[in-house]
């Protein structure tokens, strides 16, 4: 039993009970004798304490097992939304023998009773915690089992393949193995499907959580000028003194319909003697590592090309390289051997108009096809990665021409990972970890 509505004052508070004794408790709490109770009907009447004293007038309902959220007998009391009142009803339930539910226990029971698979149970949590409308829409699609059905499609394909391999292992002489081209075809289909789910998950994450967009570069390159130009207001301090920005500055910005968190950082240089600046530089590097998207601002007028350290920091992530201060004339190193510029030439002091199309395009590429995005939990993402690793190894085993036993080993690992996404073969510890993050009463 738990209060299913948030604490505080409100129109209605709901106390929910689940388990075989729920109907009996409901009868005790409802102060009116009813010769016949029907499932899934609302009844109006008094709600009473153990000593018979009336606490409230409200609606009560009983949902007969298995036609309830948890799959068990469920009873709900809809009271006036006062915190003290809800607590009095909770105490009355305790006196009648109920116990308080753990966080997420109702949903855990729904999962254990087969009402939801694990991705759907996780979608309940995602839905409740959604901070943006798009995040809520994506979670609600998972709640219908959309993600599970995609995973199940791949798993069934692999299971079929596995049964063929096992027949080959057990009855080697009578059952011929699959020809290599057919195996490769099956492998390609599964690998692509899993890889696509991961890509869709990446896009979903960007849409739901936004892109952490970090502006990096050497001191004085024009990073803060860029921040201000993109925001359209003088948010960051800009001076001709190298090392002006000491700490990181964050501001939200919407680009191509996607929310970005723009982060201005301290200019990175090797030879800083100033302790505060050194700390700022350290923070800039950390920010760069956590970025979803990097904008590298380079002073294109400088006589020397940028520190090679930057290439390593920037090029392993999605990035945009800006050659700033083109109004002063770009230095020869800004072009490669064929005379092509190594980045987008721009004058940030005159605004970011030329930058918008490139930034919008990059954001669109990162999000991918919007109709095909998927919101994954961290667990789902990690487990999908594990499935893809097993498939990767399966591909190598196939290429090496190893026997059915070896193929079956990789295949089993992939099938197991895909099953775990839906909640098959998942240990108690993992379930505890998932459901303990749920709110009380869900």
Q: Residue numbers of the site for Mg ion (CB under 5 A)?
A: 223-224, 244-245
Beta carbon nearer to ligand GTP, 141 or 235: 235
Per DSSP, the three-state class of 59 is strand
Residue 157 site contact among Mg ion, ligand GTP, none (CB < 5 to 8 Å, cut-off depends on kind): none
In the set 243, 305, 351, 395, which binds ligand GTP (CB under 6 A)?
243
Q: Is 324 in the site for ligand GTP (CB under 6 A)?
A: yes
Torsion region of 93: left, alpha or beta (phi above 0 gives left; psi -120 to 50 gives alpha): alpha
Q: Is 349 in the site for ligand GTP (CB under 6 A)?
A: yes
Q: 214-239 in b/e burial notation, b at 16+ Cβ within 10 A?
A: bbbbbbbbbbbbbbbbbbeeebbebe
**Minimum distance, C-beta of residue 226 to ligand GTP, in the bound complex (Å):** 7
Beta carbon nearer to ligand GTP, 37 or 333: 333
Total residue count of the chain as it appears in this document: 442
Q: Is 78 in the site for ligand GTP (CB under 6 A)?
A: no
For residue 400, give the DSSP letter: T
**Minimum distance, C-beta of residue 289 to ligand GTP, in the bound complex (Å):** 18
**Minimum distance, C-beta of residue 297 to ligand GTP, in the bound complex (Å):** 6
**Minimum distance, C-beta of residue 262 to Mg ion, in the bound complex (Å):** 13
Angle, helices 404-422 vs 378-399, to 10°: value is 170
Q: Is 306 in the site for ligand GTP (CB under 6 A)?
A: no
Neighbours of 175 (CB within 10 A): 14
Contact string 261-290 vs ligand GTP (x = CB under 6 A): -----xx-----------------------
Residue 325 site contact among Mg ion, ligand GTP, none (CB < 5 to 8 Å, cut-off depends on kind): ligand GTP
**Minimum distance, C-beta of residue 332 to Mg ion, in the bound complex (Å):** 26
Which strands form 293-299's sheet, in the order they lie side by side?
Answer: 249-255, 258-264, 211-217, 293-299, 319-324, 344-345
How big is the site for ligand GTP, counted in residues (CB under 6 A)?
Answer: 24
**Rounded distance between C-alpha atoms, residue 259 and residue 305, angstroms:** 32
Return all residues near 167 (Cβ < 8 A) that are at least 6 apart.
175
Residue 253: its H or E element: strand 249-255
Per DSSP, the three-state class of 15 is strand
**Near ligand GTP by CB under 6 A, which window of 18-26, 236-244, 354-362, 415-423?**
236-244
Q: Is 300 in the site for ligand GTP (CB under 6 A)?
A: no
In the set 125, 213, 220, 334, which binds ligand GTP (CB under 6 A)?
220
**Rounded distance between C-alpha atoms, residue 231 and residue 66, angstroms:** 54
Beta carbon nearer to Mg ion, 243 or 318: 243
Q: Is 328 in the site for ligand GTP (CB under 6 A)?
A: yes
What's CA 439's distance to the chain center, in Å? 18
Closest-CA residue to 332 (of 360, 297, 301, 310): 301
For residue 100, give the DSSP letter: P
Residue 144 site contact among Mg ion, ligand GTP, none (CB < 5 to 8 Å, cut-off depends on kind): none
User: Which tokens in the block code for residue 71?
Assistant: 């799959």
Q: Is 225 in the site for ligand GTP (CB under 6 A)?
A: yes
Beta carbon nearer to ligand GTP, 267 or 343: 267
| HSE, side-chain direction, 13 A CA sphere, residue 382 | 4
Q: Is 325 in the site for ligand GTP (CB under 6 A)?
A: yes
**Minimum distance, C-beta of residue 3 to ligand GTP, in the bound complex (Å):** 51
Q: Is 244 in the site for ligand GTP (CB under 6 A)?
A: yes
Q: Is 392 in the site for ligand GTP (CB under 6 A)?
A: no
3-state helix, strand, coil in the chain (%, to 5): 50, 15, 35
Neighbours of 309 (CB within 10 A): 12
**Near ligand GTP by CB under 6 A, which window of 52-60, 103-111, 314-322, 324-332?**
324-332
**Rounded distance between C-alpha atoms, residue 157 and residue 187, angstroms:** 10
Residue 334 site contact among ligand GTP, Mg ion, none (CB < 5 to 8 Å, cut-off depends on kind): none
Q: Is 347 in the site for ligand GTP (CB under 6 A)?
A: yes
Beta carbon nearer to Mg ion, 247 or 425: 247
Query: With contact defined as beta carbons under 8 Å apart, do 415 and 155 qualify?
Result: yes
Which positions lie near ligand GTP, rule CB under 6 A?
217, 219-225, 238-240, 242-245, 266-267, 324-325, 327-328, 347-349
């Amino acid at each position: 039993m738990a209060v299913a509505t948030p604490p505080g004052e409100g129109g209605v508070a709901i106390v929910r009970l689940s388990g075989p004794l729920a109907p009996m408790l409901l009868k005790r709490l409802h102060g009116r004798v009813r010769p016949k109770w029907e499932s899934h009907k609302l009844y109006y009447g008094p709600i009473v304490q153990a000593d018979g004293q009336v606490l409230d007038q409200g609606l009560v309902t009983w949902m007969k097992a298995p036609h309830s959220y948890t799959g068990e007998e469920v009873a709900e009391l809809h009271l006036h939304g006062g915190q003290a009142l809800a607590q009095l009803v909770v105490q009355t339930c305790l006196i009648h023998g109920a116990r308080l539910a753990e966080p997420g226990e109702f949903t855990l029971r729904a999962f254990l009773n087969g009402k939801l698979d694990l991705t759907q149970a996780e979608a309940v949590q995602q839905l409740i915690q959604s901070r943006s409308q798009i995040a809520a829409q994506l979670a609600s699609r998972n709640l219908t089992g959309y993600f599970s059905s995609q995973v199940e499609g791949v798993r069934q394909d692999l299971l079929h393949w596995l049964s063929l391999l096992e027949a080959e292992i057990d009855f080697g002489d009578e059952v011929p193995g699959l020809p290599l081209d057919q195996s490769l075809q099956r492998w390609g289909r599964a690998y692509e499907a899993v890889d696509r789910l991961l890509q869709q998950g990446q896009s979903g994450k960007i849409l739901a959580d936004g892109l952490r967009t970090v502006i990096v570069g050497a001191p004085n390159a024009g990073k803060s000028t860029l921040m201000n130009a993109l925001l359209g207001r003088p948010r960051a301090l800009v001076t001709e003194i190298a090392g002006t920005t000491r700490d990181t500055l964050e501001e939200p910005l919407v680009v191509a319909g996607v929310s970005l968190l723009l982060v201005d950082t301290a200019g990175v240089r090797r030879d800083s003697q100033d302790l505060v600046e050194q700390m700022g530089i350290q923070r800039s590097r950390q920010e760069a590592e956590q970025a979803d998207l990097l904008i590298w601002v380079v002073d294109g007028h400088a006589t020397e090309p940028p520190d090679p350290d930057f290439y390593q920091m920037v090029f392993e992530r999605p990035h945009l390289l800006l050659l700033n201060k083109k109004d002063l004339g770009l230095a020869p190193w800004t072009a490669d051997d064929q005379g092509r510029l190594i980045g987008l030439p721009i004058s940030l002091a005159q605004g970011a108009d030329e930058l918008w199309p490139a930034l919008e395009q990059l954001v669109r590429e990162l999000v991918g096809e919007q109709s095909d995005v998927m919101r994954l939990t961290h667990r789902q993402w990690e487990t999908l990665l594990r499935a893809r690793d097993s498939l990767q190894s399966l591909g190598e085993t196939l290429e090496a021409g190893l026997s059915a036993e070896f193929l079956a080993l990789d295949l089993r690992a992939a099938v197991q990972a895909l099953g775990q996404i839906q909640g098959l073969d998942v240990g108690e510890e993992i379930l505890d970890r998932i459901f303990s993050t749920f709110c009380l009463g869900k």
